[in-house]
Amino acid sequence: MNVLEIDDVHVTHQRRGQEPVRAVRGVSLAVAPGQIVGLVGESGCGKSSLARVAVGLAAPTSGAVRFEGRPLAASRLRARAKDALGLQMIFQNPYASLSPRRTIGSQLLDGVRTPLSGPERAAEAIRLLQLVGLDPDSRGRYPNQFSGGQRQRLAIARALGARPSLVIADEPVTALDAFSSAQIVTLLTGLVRELDMGMLFISHDLSLVRAIADETAVMYAGEIVERGPSERVWNEPAHDYTKTLIAAIPVIGPKTVRRKAAGATSAAIQERNTHVG
Ligand SMILES: Nc1ncnc2c1ncn2[C@@H]1O[C@H](COP(=O)(O)OP(=O)(O)OP(=O)(O)O)[C@@H](O)[C@H]1O
């Protein structure tokens, strides 16, 4: 059974006095346990609108979302927040999920689903910090005592504390340097395999998605215009928009620092995966 099924979802944003924006137009997607599906497209194509619906933060205008075979409705998710912990979201901005007023050792455990004793709580906080490459002795500190990259690691650790069966990651490494990105992505990839959870990995960066995702779905103007195994999409793109995305990835030049960083991330991940495999 798929852990996530998105079935013919439409999302239309309606602002008073303005034309409606059809952000998502009939998207269907599925994520199986242990599978990483990449959703790639440029800014404004509707990725975040789809992610918010997929995680239950918003209701689709039409269509259905099923998590572990059960319909997911935004209101229902809020009402059953405890039950919904198996579905976690990682955002580009880690402040979206971290409280500035609580020690990280405490809030890392928010999603833990089984009651833990004091020593078990400490051990779990240490485990989560080590998973994301942070100093276990830092659990008494507050989020503002960490760098931006470290805060994203904390947000990821917090999500993983719930041992989710599905993670929706919306541009989770966009704010990180290439080295940190590679580490985080390798970590997420390893956890997906190890824990048999599914992941919807959303990014504007096709080279990064290629390195991470088993399947790639290319989104353009609210629609999935191409999908398939990531290597096939990368090597034999069928849709003109995918070809444009690939052609737009520069290889060298003074204005390509960010792209080169993404490329370095992908290379580091592939290198790591090669060794692991
Ligand atoms: N709450 C909203 N009200 C009105 N329009 C919206 C709203 N949220 C998004 N939009 C519009 O919907 C379209 C899709 O936006 P969305 O944020 O889903 O795209 P995206 O691919 O995630 O882009 P980005 O990566 O820049 O966040 C855009 O035209 C955007 O302006």
Q: Per residue in 31-68, pLDDT tens? A: 999 999 999 999 999 999 999 899 888 889 999 999 99
- The C-alpha atoms of residue 165 and residue 191 are separated, in whole angstroms, by 11
Q: What is the pLDDT of residue 242?
A: 94
Percentage of the chain with pLDDT > 90?
46
269 in any annotated domain: yes
Q: Could you tell me if residue 266 is inside a domain?
A: yes
**Is 118 inside a domain boundary?**
yes
Domain for residue 190, yes or no? Answer: yes
CATH of the domain at 23: 3.40.50.300
Which of 109, 146, 103, 152 lies closest to 127 in space, CA to CA? 109
The three-class DSSP label of residue 135 is coil
User: Which pLDDT value is given to residue 49?
Assistant: 94
- Between 50-64, 132-146, 194-208, 252-266, the lowest mean confidence (pLDDT) is in 252-266
Name which residue sits closest to atom 31 of ligand 1, judged by CA: 44
- pLDDT over threshold 70, residue 147: yes
Contact 186, 157 (CB under 8 A): no
**DSSP code of 197?**
-
Average pLDDT over residues 155-183: 85
Residue nearest to atom 16 of ligand 1 (CA): 46
Say yes or no to pLDDT of 82 above 70: no
The pLDDT value recorded for residue 174 is: 83
Look at residue 146 and tell me if it is in a domain: yes
Give distance in angstroms: CA of 222 to centre of ligand 1.
Answer: 10
pLDDT digits (tens, 9 = 90+) for 114-146: 888 889 999 999 999 988 888 999 999 999 999
Q: How many domains does the chain contain in total? A: 1
What does the pLDDT average to over 234-243?
94
215 is a domain residue: no
Q: Which two tokens stand for residue 167?
A: 């993670």
- Domain membership flag for residue 212: no
Q: How far apart are CA 183 and CA 180, in angstroms?
A: 5
Ligand 1 atom showing the smallest separation from residue 41 Cα: 21
> By 3-state DSSP, what share of the chain in percent is helix, strand and coil, each rounded to 5?
45, 20, 35
At residue 256, does pLDDT exceed 70? Answer: no
Global model pTM greater than 0.90 = no
190 C-alpha to center of ligand 1: Å?
A: 31
Strand, coil or helix: 201: strand
Pocket test for ligand 1, best of 9, 11, 42, 47 (most atoms within 8 A of CB): 47
The confidence score (pLDDT) of residue 45 equals 95
Asked if 63 contacts 11 with a C-beta cutoff of 8 angstroms, the reply is no
Mutate to test the pocket of ligand 1, among 25, 48, 170, 203 (most ligand atoms within 8 A of CB): 48
Residue 224 in domain: no
Q: How far is CA 186 from the centre of its chain?
A: 13
Q: How many CB atoms lie within 10 A of CB 15?
A: 8
Cβ partners under 8 Å of residue 30, min gap 6: 2, 4, 5, 6, 37
Average pLDDT over residues 85-113: 84
Domain with 66, as residue range(s), is 4-206+232-276
